[in-house]
Structure formats: structure tokens, C-alpha cells
A and B are shown apart, each in its own frame.
Chain A
Amino acid sequence: MATNALAGTSLSMRSLLPQTQAFTSISGLRSASISSFGRKNVSFSLQPRSIRLKISCAAKPETVEKVCKIVKKQLAMPETDVVTGESKFATLGADSLDTVEIVMALEEAFGIAIEEDSAQSIATVQDAADLIEEIVQKSS
């Protein structure tokens, strides 16, 4: 799924007189700003905004499956217990130390390095799988 966000740009005009202050902003396809300080020193600038393209994709089923196996092994869960993509680590009985261990095990299994701030955002198996897919795609 790809979402294409075209950020609208703004025309802003500021007039700084001794008595009054006025500020106007108009959205458009380009960004322009007009500044007037008293009667002199008028500046004008036109800046095009960059187009932002955001791509988000769900992890492959085999990646999720592999993550589930690692989580089960790390938490010493019996084979009968079911772990899915929606399973939260906290619900599975993992504390903060367990979560760090799981992340480290995932790093070794997939041959990647997960940054500390990214690791803290992982709450579910799906989160972990998505992050792994993202890192693998970046590295390849």
C-alpha cells in the first residue's frame, strides 16, 4: 500500500509596522513569503516543497512464522501454545529483559542490527516482523 502525500505550500505575508502587526497565510502549490519591515527592506522568496512518498508494507508470512518460533523458544513456551502476529510480548508473559533477549535473538537469526530506539517500539510479534522486513529491505 502506497500513500502519496503532496504537502501544500503556503504564501505568507508579514507586515511589521510600528503600530500594527499583520500575518497572512495562503496555501497553494508553491511556498512564497513576503516580509515588509516598515516601508523599506521588502524580501520575497519562492520555495518549492518536496513530495513525500510513504510506503508501508506488512511482513511476509514466513517472517512472522520465524519470529513466532524464536519468541516461543526464547520464552520457553510449550508447543501447544499458539503465537500469532497479533500476540503481545507482555501478554505472553515477557518482561522487559525478555523483550531485549528476544530482540537480540532476532538480530542473530536474521543477521541484522536493530537500533535501540526501534527496539523499544516493538510490542507485538507483527511489530518485530515488520521492523525486520524494513531493515532487511534497507540493507539489500
Chain B
Amino acid sequence: MIFLDLPSIHISSLTLYSVLYLEGAMSAAASSSATPSAAQVLSLFRSLLRAAREFPDYNIREYTKRRTIDSFRHNATLSDPSQISTAFAHGKSQLAVVKRQAVVYSLYDSPLRSVMELQQVPF
């Protein structure tokens, strides 16, 4: 018998994604700072990937990683300093959201694990 790994939590994935988007958009619009250096950008990238590890749920964890990588790759072509600053501010706000959401998800962690997390497939 196979049990589907459905997250038994009060906050749905859709809520998380909308929160991520809205909070990030608001804080990015509110803040304007100097153009970040390459080292700062890489540090933010590393921090986001580290924060993504904290999600107990496999799907959310992988989504956050994939979304982080895709976003940084997409913004790697930016050359306008104001756009870079906005993207960086947005990333910093996303980091704060991810950290908070990881804590919330850990409070409602399910004992069931995704089949994707199995080291050896039994069949």
C-alpha cells in the first residue's frame, strides 16, 4: 500500500507562494540602495539555498531551491544598476520570508516523507 505524502499543515502551498510574491514585491518597491557587489549577490544566493534546506517538506524545499536558482539565472543578465538593486532588495526580502516560512512549516511537520527522499527504491 502506498501513502501519498500530502502535507497536513494549516498553510497551503498556494498561500506560501502568494505570500512569497506579495511580501517580496512590496519590500522591493519600498527599498532602494546602492548597487550590490558580485560577492553580495553570491552571498545572498548561498543564503537562500541554505534557508531552503530548512523546509521539512520535500516539495517546498525543492521548489524554493529551483525557484532561487532560476531567478538568479534569469537576473544574471541585468545591467541597469537600479534594476539590479531592486532585484537584490527583492531577494533579501524573499530570504526573510523563506526563513519565517521554514519555521512555520517545521511546526506542522508531517511524519510522512516523500517517496523522492528514499535513498534506495525498494522495487
Q: Which residues of A contact B39 (CB under 8 A)?
A: 120
Smallest distance from the beta carbon of A5 to chain B beta carbons, Å? Answer: 32
Q: Which residues of B contact A96 (CB under 8 A)?
A: 38, 42
How many residues on B have C-beta within 8 angstroms of the other chain's C-beta atoms? 13
Whether a CB of chain A sits under 8 angstroms from the CB of B10 is no
Give the CA-CA distance A100 to B48 in the complex, in Å.
11
Asked whether, in the complex, the Cβ of B72 is within 8 Å of the Cβ of A97, the reply is: yes
Q: Which residues of A contact B46 (CB under 8 A)?
A: 100, 103-104, 116, 119
Binary interface encoding of chain A residues 74-91 relative to chain B, with 1 for a CB under 8 A from any of its CBs, else 0: 000000000000000000
Whether a CB of chain A sits under 8 angstroms from the CB of B116 is no
Whether a CB of chain A sits under 8 angstroms from the CB of B60 is no
Size bin of chain A's contact surface:
10 to 19
Whether a CB of chain B sits under 8 angstroms from the CB of A101 is yes
Asked whether, in the complex, the Cβ of A97 is within 8 Å of the Cβ of B42, the reply is: yes
Give the CA-CA distance A25 to B30 in the complex, in Å.
61
Using known A-B contacts A97-B69, A101-B69, determine if residue A116 contacts B49 with beta carbons closer than 8 Å.
Answer: no
Give the CA-CA distance A120 to B42 in the complex, in Å.
10
Whether a CB of chain A sits under 8 angstroms from the CB of B45 is yes
Whether a CB of chain A sits under 8 angstroms from the CB of B43 is yes
Q: Which residues of A contact B42 (CB under 8 A)?
A: 96-97, 100
Within 8 A of A (CB), among B56-80: 69, 72-73, 76
Closest to A96 in B: B42
Closest to A105 in B: B49
